Amino acid sequence: MTVAGEASTEQGAQRNLRLNTYSLVLANLLTAVLGLVFWGVAARLYPAEAVGIGAAVLNSAVMLSALSMLSIDSLFERFLPAAGTRAGYLLQRGFLVVAAAALVAGAVTVFVGPDSLFVSGAMMLLYPLVVLEHCLFTLEDRATAGLGVARWAALKNIFHAVAKLLALIALAWTGSALSIVLSWVVTGAVAVVVVFRAMRRRYRSEPMFQEPPTLPPRRVLLRYSGTAYALMAVSAIPPLALPLLILSQSGPVASAHFAITWSMIAALYMTLHLIVSPYVAEVAAHPDKVGSLSRRMVIMMAAGALIGSTGLVVVGPFALGLVGGDYRAGGEGLLYLAALFIPLAAITVVYEGFARVKRRLGLILAVRGVAGVLVIGGSVVAIGEWGVIGVGWAHLVVEAVAAAVVLVPIIGFLIRSKRDPQWLVRSSVRPDDDQPIPVTS
Protein backbone atom coordinates (compact mmCIF):
# COMPACT_ATOMS: atom_id res chain seq x y z
CA MET A 1 0.00 0.00 0.00
CA THR A 2 1.27 3.51 -0.81
CA VAL A 3 2.01 6.09 1.87
CA ALA A 4 -1.05 8.04 0.73
CA GLY A 5 -3.17 4.89 0.96
CA GLU A 6 -1.93 4.11 4.47
CA ALA A 7 -2.64 7.68 5.57
CA SER A 8 -6.14 7.47 4.11
CA THR A 9 -6.80 4.18 5.91
CA GLU A 10 -5.55 5.60 9.20
CA GLN A 11 -7.67 8.72 8.84
CA GLY A 12 -10.69 6.55 8.01
CA ALA A 13 -10.13 4.39 11.10
CA GLN A 14 -9.78 7.44 13.34
CA ARG A 15 -12.83 9.07 11.76
CA ASN A 16 -14.89 5.94 12.36
CA LEU A 17 -13.64 5.74 15.95
CA ARG A 18 -14.62 9.35 16.64
CA LEU A 19 -18.01 9.01 14.96
CA ASN A 20 -18.93 5.82 16.82
CA THR A 21 -17.62 7.05 20.17
CA TYR A 22 -19.29 10.46 20.07
CA SER A 23 -22.55 8.88 18.92
CA LEU A 24 -22.56 6.42 21.82
CA VAL A 25 -21.64 9.03 24.42
CA LEU A 26 -24.28 11.52 23.30
CA ALA A 27 -26.90 8.77 23.03
CA ASN A 28 -26.03 7.56 26.53
CA LEU A 29 -26.51 11.04 27.98
CA LEU A 30 -29.82 11.50 26.16
CA THR A 31 -31.17 8.07 27.10
CA ALA A 32 -30.14 8.63 30.73
CA VAL A 33 -32.21 11.82 30.83
CA LEU A 34 -35.15 10.19 29.06
CA GLY A 35 -34.88 7.23 31.42
CA LEU A 36 -35.43 9.55 34.37
CA VAL A 37 -38.34 11.14 32.51
CA PHE A 38 -39.80 7.67 31.85
CA TRP A 39 -39.95 6.82 35.55
CA GLY A 40 -41.07 10.32 36.47
CA VAL A 41 -44.00 10.05 34.05
CA ALA A 42 -44.76 6.54 35.31
CA ALA A 43 -44.88 7.84 38.87
CA ARG A 44 -47.40 10.52 37.88
CA LEU A 45 -49.65 8.44 35.60
CA TYR A 46 -49.58 5.00 37.25
CA PRO A 47 -50.35 3.80 40.79
CA ALA A 48 -47.30 3.55 43.04
CA GLU A 49 -47.75 -0.21 43.39
CA ALA A 50 -47.72 -0.68 39.61
CA VAL A 51 -44.57 1.43 39.28
CA GLY A 52 -42.83 -0.55 42.01
CA ILE A 53 -43.68 -3.91 40.46
CA GLY A 54 -42.81 -2.74 36.95
CA ALA A 55 -39.45 -1.37 38.08
CA ALA A 56 -38.64 -4.57 39.97
CA VAL A 57 -39.49 -6.74 36.96
CA LEU A 58 -37.41 -4.65 34.56
CA ASN A 59 -34.44 -4.24 36.92
CA SER A 60 -34.28 -7.95 37.69
CA ALA A 61 -34.44 -8.69 33.95
CA VAL A 62 -31.48 -6.38 33.38
CA MET A 63 -29.34 -8.36 35.83
CA LEU A 64 -30.44 -11.69 34.38
CA SER A 65 -29.70 -10.51 30.86
CA ALA A 66 -26.15 -9.54 31.85
CA LEU A 67 -25.55 -13.06 33.13
CA SER A 68 -27.31 -14.70 30.18
CA MET A 69 -25.08 -13.07 27.57
CA LEU A 70 -22.23 -15.39 28.64
CA SER A 71 -19.75 -12.68 27.52
CA ILE A 72 -20.60 -13.37 23.90
CA ASP A 73 -20.96 -9.60 23.61
CA SER A 74 -17.26 -9.26 24.48
CA LEU A 75 -16.40 -11.82 21.79
CA PHE A 76 -18.37 -9.86 19.21
CA GLU A 77 -16.63 -6.61 20.13
CA ARG A 78 -13.12 -8.08 19.98
CA PHE A 79 -13.28 -10.74 17.26
CA LEU A 80 -16.03 -9.85 14.75
CA PRO A 81 -13.67 -7.45 12.92
CA ALA A 82 -11.42 -10.46 12.20
CA ALA A 83 -14.26 -12.86 11.36
CA GLY A 84 -14.37 -12.15 7.63
CA THR A 85 -16.78 -14.51 5.88
CA ARG A 86 -17.54 -16.15 9.23
CA ALA A 87 -19.15 -13.00 10.66
CA GLY A 88 -22.70 -13.96 9.75
CA TYR A 89 -22.31 -17.50 11.06
CA LEU A 90 -20.84 -16.29 14.37
CA LEU A 91 -23.52 -13.63 14.82
CA GLN A 92 -26.36 -16.04 14.20
CA ARG A 93 -24.92 -18.72 16.48
CA GLY A 94 -24.14 -16.18 19.17
CA PHE A 95 -27.63 -14.69 19.13
CA LEU A 96 -29.21 -18.15 19.26
CA VAL A 97 -27.10 -19.22 22.26
CA VAL A 98 -27.84 -16.00 24.12
CA ALA A 99 -31.55 -16.22 23.32
CA ALA A 100 -31.71 -19.77 24.67
CA ALA A 101 -29.83 -18.81 27.85
CA ALA A 102 -32.11 -15.80 28.39
CA LEU A 103 -35.30 -17.83 28.02
CA VAL A 104 -34.03 -20.52 30.41
CA ALA A 105 -32.93 -17.92 32.99
CA GLY A 106 -36.26 -16.13 32.75
CA ALA A 107 -38.27 -19.34 33.09
CA VAL A 108 -36.25 -20.50 36.10
CA THR A 109 -36.78 -17.12 37.78
CA VAL A 110 -40.53 -17.41 37.28
CA PHE A 111 -40.52 -20.73 39.14
CA VAL A 112 -38.17 -19.77 41.99
CA GLY A 113 -38.72 -16.00 42.18
CA PRO A 114 -40.89 -14.18 44.73
CA ASP A 115 -44.65 -14.22 44.23
CA SER A 116 -44.75 -10.45 44.73
CA LEU A 117 -42.80 -10.01 41.48
CA PHE A 118 -45.24 -11.94 39.29
CA VAL A 119 -48.66 -10.55 40.16
CA SER A 120 -50.52 -12.26 37.31
CA GLY A 121 -50.32 -15.17 34.93
CA ALA A 122 -49.67 -12.73 32.08
CA MET A 123 -46.62 -11.35 33.89
CA MET A 124 -45.32 -14.87 34.48
CA LEU A 125 -45.66 -15.71 30.78
CA LEU A 126 -44.13 -12.40 29.73
CA TYR A 127 -41.11 -12.44 32.04
CA PRO A 128 -38.86 -14.81 30.01
CA LEU A 129 -39.55 -12.64 26.97
CA VAL A 130 -38.60 -9.55 29.00
CA VAL A 131 -35.22 -11.13 29.78
CA LEU A 132 -34.85 -12.15 26.13
CA GLU A 133 -35.54 -8.62 24.89
CA HIS A 134 -33.10 -7.07 27.36
CA CYS A 135 -30.46 -9.62 26.39
CA LEU A 136 -30.66 -9.19 22.63
CA PHE A 137 -31.06 -5.41 22.92
CA THR A 138 -27.82 -5.13 24.91
CA LEU A 139 -26.01 -7.73 22.80
CA GLU A 140 -26.54 -5.59 19.71
CA ASP A 141 -24.58 -2.74 21.31
CA ARG A 142 -21.30 -4.61 21.05
CA ALA A 143 -22.26 -6.56 17.95
CA THR A 144 -22.65 -3.30 16.04
CA ALA A 145 -19.31 -2.15 17.49
CA GLY A 146 -17.70 -5.32 16.15
CA LEU A 147 -19.20 -4.60 12.74
CA GLY A 148 -17.76 -1.07 12.84
CA VAL A 149 -21.13 0.69 13.17
CA ALA A 150 -21.58 1.31 16.91
CA ARG A 151 -23.45 4.47 15.93
CA TRP A 152 -26.35 2.21 14.96
CA ALA A 153 -26.62 1.16 18.60
CA ALA A 154 -26.75 4.84 19.55
CA LEU A 155 -29.70 5.40 17.20
CA LYS A 156 -31.36 2.23 18.50
CA ASN A 157 -31.07 3.40 22.09
CA ILE A 158 -32.44 6.86 21.32
CA PHE A 159 -35.38 5.38 19.41
CA HIS A 160 -36.16 3.05 22.31
CA ALA A 161 -35.94 5.83 24.89
CA VAL A 162 -38.47 7.94 22.98
CA ALA A 163 -40.75 5.10 21.85
CA LYS A 164 -41.10 3.49 25.27
CA LEU A 165 -42.00 6.87 26.79
CA LEU A 166 -44.73 7.41 24.19
CA ALA A 167 -46.02 3.86 24.71
CA LEU A 168 -46.04 4.39 28.48
CA ILE A 169 -48.23 7.46 28.07
CA ALA A 170 -50.51 5.71 25.57
CA LEU A 171 -51.11 2.79 27.97
CA ALA A 172 -51.55 4.92 31.08
CA TRP A 173 -55.31 4.35 31.05
CA THR A 174 -54.71 0.73 32.14
CA GLY A 175 -52.83 1.72 35.29
CA SER A 176 -51.13 -1.69 35.39
CA ALA A 177 -47.57 -2.87 35.94
CA LEU A 178 -47.97 -5.08 32.88
CA SER A 179 -48.43 -1.99 30.71
CA ILE A 180 -45.24 -0.44 32.08
CA VAL A 181 -43.32 -3.59 31.21
CA LEU A 182 -44.95 -3.92 27.78
CA SER A 183 -44.17 -0.31 26.88
CA TRP A 184 -40.49 -1.06 27.52
CA VAL A 185 -40.29 -4.53 25.97
CA VAL A 186 -42.37 -4.24 22.80
CA THR A 187 -40.63 -1.07 21.63
CA GLY A 188 -37.26 -2.61 22.46
CA ALA A 189 -38.13 -5.74 20.48
CA VAL A 190 -38.99 -3.63 17.43
CA ALA A 191 -35.59 -1.92 17.67
CA VAL A 192 -33.83 -5.29 18.02
CA VAL A 193 -35.42 -6.66 14.84
CA VAL A 194 -34.66 -3.54 12.79
CA VAL A 195 -31.01 -3.40 13.88
CA PHE A 196 -30.48 -7.14 13.37
CA ARG A 197 -31.72 -6.86 9.79
CA ALA A 198 -29.36 -3.92 9.24
CA MET A 199 -26.46 -5.94 10.69
CA ARG A 200 -27.23 -8.78 8.31
CA ARG A 201 -27.01 -6.41 5.35
CA ARG A 202 -23.75 -5.06 6.77
CA TYR A 203 -21.87 -8.36 6.96
CA ARG A 204 -23.23 -9.45 3.57
CA SER A 205 -22.07 -6.31 1.75
CA GLU A 206 -19.09 -4.82 3.64
CA PRO A 207 -15.77 -5.78 1.93
CA MET A 208 -13.99 -6.60 5.21
CA PHE A 209 -16.53 -9.38 5.81
CA GLN A 210 -15.96 -10.91 2.37
CA GLU A 211 -12.35 -11.80 3.18
CA PRO A 212 -11.03 -15.03 4.77
CA PRO A 213 -11.27 -15.00 8.59
CA THR A 214 -8.21 -14.52 10.80
CA LEU A 215 -9.77 -15.80 14.01
CA PRO A 216 -7.80 -17.64 16.70
CA PRO A 217 -8.78 -21.22 17.56
CA ARG A 218 -11.97 -21.96 19.44
CA ARG A 219 -10.20 -22.65 22.74
CA VAL A 220 -8.67 -19.17 22.67
CA LEU A 221 -12.10 -17.64 22.09
CA LEU A 222 -13.53 -19.66 24.98
CA ARG A 223 -10.68 -18.64 27.28
CA TYR A 224 -11.19 -14.98 26.44
CA SER A 225 -14.94 -15.32 26.92
CA GLY A 226 -14.53 -17.00 30.30
CA THR A 227 -12.20 -14.31 31.59
CA ALA A 228 -14.46 -11.56 30.25
CA TYR A 229 -17.43 -13.18 31.98
CA ALA A 230 -15.54 -13.26 35.28
CA LEU A 231 -14.59 -9.61 34.76
CA MET A 232 -18.24 -8.69 34.22
CA ALA A 233 -19.29 -10.64 37.32
CA VAL A 234 -16.77 -9.04 39.70
CA SER A 235 -17.56 -5.58 38.31
CA ALA A 236 -21.28 -6.10 38.95
CA ILE A 237 -20.95 -6.99 42.64
CA PRO A 238 -20.36 -3.49 44.15
CA PRO A 239 -23.35 -1.85 42.38
CA LEU A 240 -25.54 -4.64 43.73
CA ALA A 241 -24.14 -4.60 47.26
CA LEU A 242 -23.84 -0.88 48.00
CA PRO A 243 -27.58 0.02 47.94
CA LEU A 244 -28.25 -2.87 50.32
CA LEU A 245 -25.47 -1.73 52.65
CA ILE A 246 -26.80 1.81 52.79
CA LEU A 247 -30.36 0.62 53.32
CA SER A 248 -29.33 -1.64 56.20
CA GLN A 249 -26.92 0.80 57.86
CA SER A 250 -28.46 4.22 57.20
CA GLY A 251 -32.13 3.56 56.44
CA PRO A 252 -34.51 4.13 53.51
CA VAL A 253 -34.15 7.92 53.39
CA ALA A 254 -30.38 7.73 52.95
CA SER A 255 -30.92 4.93 50.45
CA ALA A 256 -33.16 7.20 48.36
CA HIS A 257 -30.58 10.01 48.47
CA PHE A 258 -27.87 7.58 47.37
CA ALA A 259 -29.95 6.06 44.55
CA ILE A 260 -30.66 9.40 42.88
CA THR A 261 -27.12 10.72 43.35
CA TRP A 262 -25.44 7.51 42.23
CA SER A 263 -27.56 7.34 39.07
CA MET A 264 -25.63 10.38 37.79
CA ILE A 265 -22.28 8.88 38.77
CA ALA A 266 -23.19 5.52 37.25
CA ALA A 267 -24.06 7.26 33.97
CA LEU A 268 -20.51 8.63 33.87
CA TYR A 269 -19.03 5.20 34.57
CA MET A 270 -21.10 3.88 31.67
CA THR A 271 -19.88 6.70 29.43
CA LEU A 272 -16.24 5.81 30.13
CA HIS A 273 -16.86 2.20 29.10
CA LEU A 274 -18.71 3.33 25.97
CA ILE A 275 -15.57 5.16 24.87
CA VAL A 276 -13.61 1.90 25.04
CA SER A 277 -15.96 -0.35 23.05
CA PRO A 278 -15.55 1.27 19.58
CA TYR A 279 -11.79 1.50 20.22
CA VAL A 280 -11.44 -2.24 20.82
CA ALA A 281 -13.41 -3.04 17.66
CA GLU A 282 -11.53 -0.51 15.53
CA VAL A 283 -8.11 -1.82 16.64
CA ALA A 284 -9.26 -5.38 15.97
CA ALA A 285 -10.13 -4.27 12.42
CA HIS A 286 -6.91 -2.24 11.99
CA PRO A 287 -4.23 -3.73 14.31
CA ASP A 288 -1.49 -1.87 12.41
CA LYS A 289 -3.10 1.41 13.53
CA VAL A 290 -3.01 0.53 17.24
CA GLY A 291 -0.71 3.44 18.10
CA SER A 292 -2.75 6.26 16.61
CA LEU A 293 -6.08 4.74 17.66
CA SER A 294 -4.85 4.24 21.24
CA ARG A 295 -3.67 7.82 21.53
CA ARG A 296 -6.97 9.05 20.13
CA MET A 297 -8.92 6.93 22.63
CA VAL A 298 -6.84 8.24 25.55
CA ILE A 299 -7.53 11.82 24.47
CA MET A 300 -11.28 11.17 24.22
CA MET A 301 -11.24 9.38 27.58
CA ALA A 302 -9.46 12.30 29.25
CA ALA A 303 -11.92 14.76 27.72
CA GLY A 304 -14.90 12.63 28.77
CA ALA A 305 -13.64 12.30 32.34
CA LEU A 306 -12.88 16.02 32.63
CA ILE A 307 -16.23 17.13 31.20
CA GLY A 308 -18.08 14.57 33.32
CA SER A 309 -16.35 15.62 36.54
CA THR A 310 -17.02 19.28 35.79
CA GLY A 311 -20.67 18.45 35.17
CA LEU A 312 -20.94 16.70 38.52
CA VAL A 313 -19.67 19.80 40.30
CA VAL A 314 -21.51 22.45 38.28
CA VAL A 315 -24.76 20.77 37.23
CA GLY A 316 -25.08 17.85 39.66
CA PRO A 317 -26.07 19.78 42.81
CA PHE A 318 -28.60 21.82 40.81
CA ALA A 319 -30.14 18.60 39.43
CA LEU A 320 -30.41 17.15 42.93
CA GLY A 321 -32.04 20.37 44.08
CA LEU A 322 -34.75 19.92 41.47
CA VAL A 323 -35.59 16.56 43.03
CA GLY A 324 -35.64 18.08 46.51
CA GLY A 325 -33.56 20.11 48.92
CA ASP A 326 -32.99 17.08 51.12
CA TYR A 327 -31.61 15.15 48.14
CA ARG A 328 -29.10 17.91 47.48
CA ALA A 329 -28.08 18.05 51.11
CA GLY A 330 -27.70 14.27 51.27
CA GLY A 331 -25.89 13.75 47.97
CA GLU A 332 -23.89 16.90 47.17
CA GLY A 333 -20.78 15.73 49.00
CA LEU A 334 -20.83 12.42 47.15
CA LEU A 335 -20.96 14.28 43.83
CA TYR A 336 -17.87 16.32 44.75
CA LEU A 337 -15.93 13.19 45.66
CA ALA A 338 -17.07 11.52 42.44
CA ALA A 339 -15.63 14.45 40.51
CA LEU A 340 -12.26 13.40 41.96
CA PHE A 341 -12.48 9.63 41.48
CA ILE A 342 -14.07 9.56 38.01
CA PRO A 343 -10.77 10.68 36.34
CA LEU A 344 -8.97 7.97 38.34
CA ALA A 345 -11.53 5.42 37.20
CA ALA A 346 -10.91 6.54 33.61
CA ILE A 347 -7.28 5.43 33.92
CA THR A 348 -8.35 1.90 34.85
CA VAL A 349 -10.91 1.83 32.04
CA VAL A 350 -8.17 2.83 29.57
CA TYR A 351 -6.11 -0.14 30.72
CA GLU A 352 -9.12 -2.42 30.38
CA GLY A 353 -9.38 -1.33 26.74
CA PHE A 354 -5.70 -2.09 26.17
CA ALA A 355 -6.11 -5.47 27.89
CA ARG A 356 -9.01 -6.37 25.59
CA VAL A 357 -6.95 -5.42 22.57
CA LYS A 358 -4.05 -7.63 23.75
CA ARG A 359 -6.45 -10.42 24.79
CA ARG A 360 -4.75 -10.43 28.20
CA LEU A 361 -7.38 -9.85 30.89
CA GLY A 362 -5.63 -11.38 33.90
CA LEU A 363 -4.35 -8.16 35.50
CA ILE A 364 -7.54 -6.17 34.98
CA LEU A 365 -9.57 -9.08 36.38
CA ALA A 366 -7.38 -9.13 39.49
CA VAL A 367 -7.58 -5.34 39.85
CA ARG A 368 -11.37 -5.32 39.48
CA GLY A 369 -11.79 -8.23 41.90
CA VAL A 370 -9.62 -6.72 44.63
CA ALA A 371 -11.13 -3.28 44.06
CA GLY A 372 -14.64 -4.68 44.47
CA VAL A 373 -13.75 -6.28 47.79
CA LEU A 374 -12.06 -3.11 49.03
CA VAL A 375 -14.94 -0.85 47.94
CA ILE A 376 -17.49 -2.98 49.74
CA GLY A 377 -15.33 -3.44 52.84
CA GLY A 378 -14.34 0.21 52.93
CA SER A 379 -17.95 1.31 52.48
CA VAL A 380 -19.09 -0.86 55.40
CA VAL A 381 -16.71 1.07 57.66
CA ALA A 382 -17.13 4.49 56.03
CA ILE A 383 -20.94 4.45 55.92
CA GLY A 384 -21.01 3.81 59.65
CA GLU A 385 -18.74 6.80 60.23
CA TRP A 386 -19.91 9.35 57.64
CA GLY A 387 -23.13 8.06 56.08
CA VAL A 388 -23.73 8.06 52.32
CA ILE A 389 -20.64 10.16 51.59
CA GLY A 390 -18.55 7.30 52.99
CA VAL A 391 -19.15 5.42 49.74
CA GLY A 392 -17.41 8.27 47.94
CA TRP A 393 -14.36 8.12 50.20
CA ALA A 394 -14.10 4.36 49.71
CA HIS A 395 -14.26 4.77 45.93
CA LEU A 396 -11.71 7.59 45.95
CA VAL A 397 -9.10 5.53 47.81
CA VAL A 398 -9.70 2.34 45.82
CA GLU A 399 -9.77 4.05 42.41
CA ALA A 400 -6.50 5.82 43.27
CA VAL A 401 -4.81 2.52 44.15
CA ALA A 402 -6.18 0.80 41.03
CA ALA A 403 -5.00 3.65 38.80
CA ALA A 404 -1.52 3.46 40.32
CA VAL A 405 -1.34 -0.28 39.61
CA VAL A 406 -2.25 0.02 35.91
CA LEU A 407 -0.51 3.31 35.09
CA VAL A 408 2.87 1.76 34.27
CA PRO A 409 1.36 -0.90 31.93
CA ILE A 410 -0.61 1.87 30.20
CA ILE A 411 2.53 3.91 29.56
CA GLY A 412 4.36 0.81 28.36
CA PHE A 413 1.55 -0.02 25.93
CA LEU A 414 1.53 3.49 24.48
CA ILE A 415 5.32 3.62 24.09
CA ARG A 416 5.45 0.22 22.41
CA SER A 417 2.58 1.10 20.07
CA LYS A 418 4.33 4.31 19.01
CA ARG A 419 7.77 2.74 18.49
CA ASP A 420 6.53 -0.40 16.75
CA PRO A 421 3.06 0.03 15.16
CA GLN A 422 3.19 -3.53 13.79
CA TRP A 423 3.68 -5.33 17.10
CA LEU A 424 -0.01 -6.10 17.55
CA VAL A 425 -0.20 -7.54 14.03
CA ARG A 426 2.66 -9.92 14.84
CA SER A 427 1.20 -10.88 18.22
CA SER A 428 -2.26 -11.58 16.79
CA VAL A 429 -1.19 -15.19 16.20
CA ARG A 430 0.64 -16.39 19.30
CA PRO A 431 2.59 -19.61 19.69
CA ASP A 432 -0.08 -20.96 22.01
CA ASP A 433 -2.86 -20.23 19.50
CA ASP A 434 -2.06 -23.23 17.28
CA GLN A 435 -4.14 -23.06 14.09
CA PRO A 436 -6.83 -20.46 13.37
CA ILE A 437 -10.45 -21.46 13.46
CA PRO A 438 -11.57 -23.14 10.21
CA VAL A 439 -13.56 -21.31 7.56
CA THR A 440 -16.19 -23.98 7.12
CA SER A 441 -19.44 -23.60 8.99
How would you write the pLDDT of the chain (441 residues) with one tens digit per residue? 454 444 455 565 667 677 777 777 777 778 777 877 887 788 788 887 787 777 777 877 877 888 888 888 888 888 888 888 888 888 999 999 999 999 998 888 888 766 666 767 788 888 899 999 989 998 888 888 888 887 888 888 889 989 999 999 999 888 888 888 899 999 999 999 999 999 999 888 888 888 887 777 888 888 888 888 888 888 877 877 777 677 777 776 677 677 778 878 888 888 888 888 888 888 887 788 888 888 888 998 999 899 889 988 988 888 778 767 777 887 888 899 999 999 999 999 999 999 988 888 889 999 999 998 999 899 888 887 888 888 899 999 999 999 999 999 999 988 888 887 776 666 655 544 444 444 433
Q: Using alpha carbons, list the distances in angstroms from residue 237 to 68, 244, 328, 350, 375.
A: 16, 11, 27, 21, 10
pLDDT of residue 438: 44
Alpha helices in 147-217 (DSSP H): 150-170, 177-205
DSSP 8-state secondary structure symbol assigned to residue 438: P
Distance of alpha carbon 171 from alpha carbon 178, whole angstroms: 10
Angle formed by the axes of helices 325-358 and 389-419, nearest 10°: 30
Give the separation between CA 329 and CA 290, rounded to whole angstroms.
Answer: 46
Cα–Cα distances in angstroms (integers) from residue 22 to residues 133, 151, 188, 308, in the given order: 26, 8, 22, 14
Q: What is the largest CA-CA distance in the chain?
A: 67
What pLDDT shows up at residue 302?
92
φ, ψ dihedrals at 320, nearest 5°: -65, -35
What pLDDT is attached to residue 436? 44
Are 312 and 342 in contact by the 8 Å Cβ rule? The answer is yes
Res 207: pLDDT:
85
CA 402 from chain centre, in angstroms, equals 20
Question: If you ran DSSP here, which 8-state letter would residue 70 be given?
Answer: T
